[in-house]
Amino acid sequence: MTSSDTKKPSYSRRIMWLAVFVVVLFGGYSAGWFYMADRLEAEAARAVADLNKDGVTAECANLNVRGFPFRIGLYCDSLGYEDGGRSLFAAAGSLRSAAQVYQPSKAVAELDGPLRVSAPGIAPLWLDWDSLRASVRIATPLPERVSVATDGLSGMTDPEEGDPVSLFSAGKAEMHLRPNGTDVDWAGNFTELEIDPGIAGGRTLPMLNGSGDVTLKDGVALIRSGARGLRGRSAEIRNLDLSSGEGGVSVSGPISVAADGLIDASLTIRLRNPPAVSALLVGAFPEARSQIESAMAGLALLGREPSLPLRIVRGKATLGFIPLGDLPPVAR
């Protein structure tokens, strides 16, 4: 039999079956995506509805799910929360969230400002930002990691409650939380923090940068229980740092709060470049120039980065051999 008698493959039929397969695959995927979107929207609506009880009003305006075909996420035109019984109120702009379909346990979100906050004991606040982004890696019983980062953060008193008063602004700020066994690790930092003289007693404070790294003992149980307050809690401060220009101060060590609110701590305070720290403090507290300069001159003899022990026993604080007085109990 010659080659010309061999039956030629039907390429058109192969292409047709390939097209059918693609259509069926895409149709099945689309049906699955919209099914999951409906479930997610229903669960989110149910969660919001569950908050609306016992005098609480919560809202996620125009809640819907978007992101087809490769992402899935919740969207709300605005957020609101009010608890009349505890005089708590919060409201913010639109929320946008998304997770990749192939990695649904990792979600990201953006929130538009301003955020209006009112709570007992503080003036109504108006917080705003150029951008606020959050990410979470979902796990059980707590997320593996939660991160929040902002650019152009600023705060003032709520202009709807009277003439606004500027409070602060910061170039960048971010924080991260993660479980560490039974504990919870917190880390954060901010840059270019400017505090308005109006809330600093008319003092002009320098631009500040700061960072922190703290472990809250038994933090997982604390978060899961929903307990409030710090009484009966303890933490390990690996580092809390505040700096401006060439000068700075850092704190590290364990700290705890007893059931009656009294503090116990064994901390180490380190200064970087005491003359620079002295200049910053004198600028902020000119009325205490002589005391500041005398203290910093003594510390400068210990080098460019001297350290001092800060001990707090049942609320009584001592810096080195110098008694600082009593600290009030931590509020419940």
pLDDT means per 10 residues, the chain with 332 residues, are: 54 74 74 87 91 90 91 94 88 94 90 92 89 92 90 89 85 95 94 88 86 93 78 93 90 94 92 84 78 75 81 88 82 76
Check residue 298 and give its pLDDT. 73
Q: What is the pLDDT of residue 6?
A: 53
Nearest by Cα to 172 from 132, 115, 112? 132
Six-digit token string for 105: 């346990």
Q: What per-residue confidence (pLDDT) applies to 7?
A: 54
Note the pTM of the prediction, 2 decimals: 0.82
pLDDT at 202: 79
> To which residue do tokens 């007693």 refer?
201
Q: What are phi and psi of 133, to 5 degrees?
A: -125, 140
Q: End-to-end CA distance of the chain, in Å?
A: 97
Q: Where are the domains of the chain?
A: 11-112
